[in-house]
Amino acid sequence: MYGTRLFDRPKHAEVKRSLLAFVGRPGPLGLEIGFDHGMCVLDRARSFPTFNQLGVELRQARVEAAAANAPDNCLLLRMDGRTLVTALLPDASIDWLYILFPTPPTSPKRALLTPAFAGSVHRVLRPGGCLWFATDRPELAALIDELFPWPTAAAPPPLGGQLSRRERVCRRDEITVSRRCLARPVPTVT
């Protein structure tokens, strides 16, 4: 699923080892799926040096450009976010998940926001962990509400001061942005 067998091959096994070593570092961990130019993930890494930041993006040139400026507490990889949460991340390993202005899919096969993805997010996000979502597409905001019927988080995750490129365009063009700050439910102990 989503190229998960690729990381069993020797050439890509090192990426998997690096990823798991980074995820195992002490300190809270944020994950940004589809970081685009990396402005937000890099800003969070610099603004909160005791927190670890992981970012994945499909476009190699963007990953290389952003990774050249990444501090030690930030790992940026060329990878499909679906592969990462479905097959590579350990259970309850992420404290904050950032999905900022995802590209609407051109086909169901390319869709990020699916029930399978939501199930994987539930698995990798720690109980009480926060999903931070932003979009200018009402249909994607409605889909997030459907896939993640979670309560609003008590506090937003660490955000830093940098706006994404799309957020700046929306502000300039006065386009409405929908945001969600949702907390993965904490299991009740009986």
Break the chain into its structural domains and give their ranges.
Answer: 4-183
Higher-pLDDT residue of 109, 170? 170
- Phi, psi torsion values for 36, nearest 5 degrees: 60, -115
Which tokens in the block code for residue 104? 């609407």
CA 179 remoteness from chain centre: 15
Report the C-alpha gap between 127 and 63 in whole angstroms: 30
4 falls in which pLDDT band (50, 70, 90)?
low
Q: Answer whether residue 17 shows pLDDT above 70.
A: yes
In the DSSP assignment, the letter for residue 50 is T
Name 34's Cβ contacts closer than 8 Å, sequence gap at least 6. Answer: 56, 57, 58, 81, 99, 100, 101, 102, 103, 112
pLDDT tens for 21-76 read: 999 999 999 999 999 999 999 999 999 999 999 999 999 999 999 999 999 999 99
Specify which residues 98 forms β-bridges with: 32, 132
Q: Which pLDDT value is given to residue 41?
A: 97
pLDDT tens for 72-128 read: 999 999 999 999 999 899 999 999 999 999 988 888 888 999 999 999 999 999 999
Rg (C-alpha) for the chain, rounded Å, is: 16
The owner of tokens 């102990």 is 189
Higher-pLDDT residue of 20, 2? 20
pTM of the model as a whole: 0.92
Q: Which pLDDT value is given to residue 122?
A: 96
In CATH, 4-183 is 1.10.287.890: no
DSSP reduced 3-state for 93: coil
Closest CA to 104 of 127, 150, 137: 137
Report the C-alpha gap between 80 and 87 in whole angstroms: 11
7 falls in which pLDDT band (50, 70, 90)?
low
Q: Answer whether residue 8 shows pLDDT above 60.
A: yes
Q: Which pLDDT value is given to residue 144?
A: 96
- Phi, psi torsion values for 135, nearest 5 degrees: -155, 155
2 falls in which pLDDT band (50, 70, 90)?
very low
